[in-house]
Structure 1
Amino acid sequence: MTRTEMDDEAVAGELLPVTSPQVGDHLPAAADPDGAVLAAFDTAAVNHLADIRPGKTKAGYARDWQLWLQFLDWAGERTGRRVADTAVTRGTLVAFVVWLDQVVRAAPNSIDRRITGVTVTARREHGVEVPKEATVAARAALKPLKVDPERMARGRGKAPAATPEQIRAMNTAVPAPSGRKKHVPPAAALLRDRTLASLAFGIGGRVSEVSALTVDGIQLEGEGLKVYVPSVKGRPARTVPVAFGEHAATCPVRLWLTWREHLGRTDGPAFVPVDETGRLGQRRLSPDGCRIAITRAAQRAGIDTRLTGHSMRAGLVTTARKKGKRVEKIRAQTGHAMNSPVFWEYVREGELWEDAATDGLGL
């Protein structure tokens, strides 16, 4: 199924509710009382396994479900109707796999885990048993992706560091119509994406931090912006300066002021979803939404390197070091730990040509 076909396809199906009794429930007289007791034990076993599930696994399932909701929003914008959160059917689950592959560009193994996370959450948190035919169909759609070396290589290794030149190309590219509907992103979405990419680079932020930014946490001062980066996943919060840029197309200060005016408010999330008509959403753009916005902006600009949300963070470190910025100032901006091996890898990348061993040897 192509992405365009997925845009146009309407999917529907029936949901099967969970009706198994809980341990301790009163069991009415039945033709098969043993079966009722065994069903209660089965339910208790499911509950117990969920209770002892590691915290990391639970967090992963929560993230899978958030991606599922994001997919339903995306599909709803294109079909004109947003189905219920619990509409985990054969059609929607296969479309979810295609979306993760073609839009999010996730690795096949990650998609496999997402299928599990969505089905488990639907059952445990929402009382909906996903039909077996749905998961079988989803994994059938996934099977050919797992034998594609290029897809299997997704997400491996460190993210490529973005350059100011690449961000400038992203922010000045004129989007061409795509798909049978000849869809062009609305002006509000383009403005948001340009602001998001430049500000993410400016603060050297993780996509989770960019998602957590608030309007009132970004203040204009004499030489630029003072940005409060909230604590995410237990990491310390920080306040960092973001100076005016040299080019209007990538200046995070001017872009932010324009986007803030478009938002029309003084508090709440800094970045929100934008639908196909240009209407702004109310909730904050998720970390995955921030990452997808950056990746798709790079694709629209025809950039060969596949930039991700982390590319902005890596790009600040590498570019700042090339420009001679002090390591301690860079680290304070990004919030990296002193002993972070990834941070020092990007620093070394920025220093690669500084006093190179082969420079000026008369070769």
Structure 2
Amino acid sequence: MTELAPYQPSAAPAAYDPATLAVLAAMEQAAEEHLDAIRPENTKRGYANDWRLWEEFHGWLAERTGHQLPLTAVTKGTLVGFVVWLDTIKLAAPNSIDRRITGVTVTARAEGVEVPKAATEAARKALKPLLADPDRLARGRGKAPAATLQQLQQMADAAPASLTGIRDRALWLMAFGMAGRSSEVAALRTDGIGLVGKGLDVHVPSVKGLPARKVRVAYGKNPDTCPVRAWLTWKAAAGLTDGPAFRPISVHGQLGTDGLTASGCQEIISRSAERAGLAVRLTGHSMRSGFITTARQAGKREEKIRAQSGHAANSPVFWGYIQEADAWTDAASEDIGL
């Protein structure tokens, strides 16, 4: 029997000549264009949203480190940090986080960024225990809890007397009082908040393509939860005259010059609720839905509430809040002789 000799590779191939390299590069480009052309539109939109979250994460990270990393820094550390941020700050469901990892990776590679395999493996390793948590898996299946006046009082009682505590209380009370989205609260300008006889005239800037609007935030009867007094106290303590209304504060108490991001505002609200020992986790949207529910229960007209929140007249979300607030108003089972 003839013995099989082990394979002996020939000499290493010569480096590709310029013409071959040009053809290969053209084929690579054609492949990317073809894959992009057959990719479903909803997938493309999803990847675009994933990348916007990646940008927001980098802004949040810059607030805490004092240094803005390039968006092309898709590394083991940044991807794992992205997973933790999505879980703890954005309260994203694990399956959603999994898709975000893919979206960021695909988008980065399409831009010519080399994403190490070790980075994506580490990100999914960080994700793995989240996929086994029933509470996390339930995220996204229901609305954020609406903040109540009692919860606002508890948060006010727990707020520290430091500059950070003064800012935090003013921020979430303003968010509640204006029925604002976190992105709108982040975009507020000091010179866009004017003191008038009955409270504050607040110019809410246009964000995410939504029209700008002016809202009225009235004085509250309770000094602890009055958004007007809280804003004036914060403005005086921080020495604000213009620029962003709400700004980061360093661990040493130094006030920043840039405005907080939307995620930064959400984090402050969630942290304040946690500090107060609330049984539910409030989010940025809790202030907005809480205002609508509370105002309706106080008898405010629908058109007035919509003008404050900026909802469209036919918004199913808005009418869902109204129905919830009216649930026990002349309930069908009430006073029927049972």
The secondary structure found in structure 1 opposite 2:217 is strand
Is the contact made by 2:159 and 2:165 (CA closer than 8 Å) also made in structure 1? no
Per the normalisation by structure 1, the TM-score is 0.79
Q: Does 1:187 align with 2:162?
A: yes
1-structure distance, mates of 2:133, 2:18: 50
- Call closer, same or farther: CA 1:67–1:111 in 2, change over 3 Å: farther
Name stretches of at least 5 consecutive residues in structure 1 with no aligned partner: 1-28, 176-185
Structure 1 residue 96 displacement after superposition: 3.0
Contact 1:71-1:99 within 8 A present in 2 as well: no
Who wins on radius of gyration, i.e. which is larger? 2
Which residue, out of 323, 326, 337, partners 1:351? 326
Alignment match of 1:102 (pick from 64, 78, 88): 88
Q: Which residue is 2:61 aligned to?
A: 72
Which whole-Å CA distance do the structure 2 matches of 1:296 and 1:154 have between them?
18
Q: Which residue of 2 aligns with 1:155?
A: 140
Amino acid paired to 2:116: P
Aligned-residue offset at 1:50: 6.6
For 1:283 and 1:117, locate their aligned partners in 2 and report how far apart those are by CA, in whole Å. 29
Identity value in percent:
57
Q: TM-score under structure 2 normalisation?
A: 0.84
Comparing 335-344 and 90-99, the one that deviates more:
90-99
- With over 3 angstroms needed to count, the CA separation of the structure-2 counterparts of 1:90 and 1:284, relative to structure 1, is same
Task: Give 1:91's aligned residue.
Answer: 77
Contact 2:59 2:68 in 1 (8 A): no
Structure 1 residues 70 and 257: CA distance shift in structure 2, 3 A? same
What are the ranges of 5 or more consecutive residues in structure 2 without an aligned counterpart? 1-14
Cα RMSD (Å) of the superposition? 2.8
Q: Summarize deviations over 1:226-266 as a string: whole Å, max 9, x none.
A: 01112222222211111001222211111111222233232
Structure 2 match to 1:340: 315
In structure 2, what is the equivalent of residue 140 of structure 1? 125
**How far off is 1:123 after superposition?**
4.6
Aligned mates of 1:121, 1:194 — CA distance in 2: 39
- Stretch deviating more after TM superposition (189-198 or 67-76): 67-76
For 1:251-262, what aligned pairs fall within 5 Å after superposition? 251-262=226-237
Please give the per-residue CA displacement for 1:308-361, whole angstroms capped at 9, x wherever unaligned. Answer: 111111111111111111111111111111111111111111112212233334
Residue equivalent to 1:17: none
Report if the CA contact (8 A) 1:76-1:83 is conserved. Answer: no
Partner of 1:41: 27
Counterpart of 2:275 in structure 1 is: 300
1:30/1:108 CA distance change after superposition, 3 Å: same
Quick check: 1:314 aligned with 2:314?
no
1: CA distance, partners of 2:250 / 2:34: 41
